[in-house]
A and B are shown apart, each in its own frame.
Chain A
């Protein structure tokens, strides 16, 4: 790898730090990082860890916006550290905080348990027609036309980064709300022609904590790094839930 050109320029980065074994509450620490045009926020953090303070904690893996582990707040906006660049802020100071609306584990690392639980709860797998009615391998694959795939493809692009939860004030106000990514994932399975689990999943959708916790702030779709548009998924599910409500009035279970 070619070494970036040293320009002598410096950028200040404020980091909200929290060390559970010694701190009562988080505090801000400022670091001076040598600025280069092509440096990402994640690389800046790595520079800090390697050269300035090895105790700092943050998550990362792929460095290419696909693993979803490097989410953080950059000047109050949820972003992927590997997809945000210093050049978009320089020469102004950058402030980094752990993803909003999640408890802080340590420094920029948050507790994602609730998010993962929500993703699991919406039954994120294809449910065959009848339980136990599995198609035999010898019968060949489940076919799907490009049109059928187009119906859910966008909602299947999620990388579970959690930026949309950090952007959602409704989740921040009340974390019982199922939230954007999980509902988009739910829509993804409900809209899949190979899936027959809609009736089961509508029960989740129809709750107060389902789609009805959403007031269409719409910021989730703005911050999503993958163009999933969870707000649209929720809006479409609201329509489905309303239809389901009408049907439910005429044939109560």
Chain B
């Protein structure tokens, strides 16, 4: 008779806390919670915008609340983390071949960062000018 009795280990639900790589993955995924909140704040802003100047200025004033500032600071940090991880993984979905060679990952990543910097500066200019 067979003595086989394979033992199956369950993946614990805190698997993502036991290894730094997985923890970073969860932070990446978790960044979406704060980005969701930010989008909701903006959606609220659109509502206030549609209700007239007083309402809109009220919304603008509410953004000065210290709690709001802290929330935005966290959201900014996580959004930047999303940007960094997004750019670092971007080359994996690109299948560009030039003269029999795959386009170098570094080229793709630097292209993303260059665009990011230009877009950031442009946005700042559009608002302030």
Contacts and interface: CB of A to CB of B under 8 A. Distances in A.
B6 A103 contact: yes
Interface stretch (A40-48, A121-129, A195-203, A232-240): A232-240
Contacts of B6: 20, 103-105, 111
**For the side of the interface on B, what is the size category?**
20 to 34
A213 interface: no
A103 B91 CA distance: 34
B101 A150 contact: yes
Given A20-B5, A169-B16, A217-B25, A238 B93 contact: yes
Interface string B89-102: 10111010100111
Given A76-B19, A105-B6, A111-B6, A147 B100 contact: yes
B106 interface: no
A21 B3 contact: yes
Nearest to A111: B6
**For the side of the interface on A, what is the size category?**
20 to 34
A20 B19 contact: no
A218 interface: yes
A26 B7 contact: yes
Interface in A28-67: none
Interface of A: 18, 20-21, 25-26, 76-77, 100-101, 103-105, 111, 145-147, 150-151, 169, 172-173, 215-219, 222, 229, 231-232, 235-236, 238-239
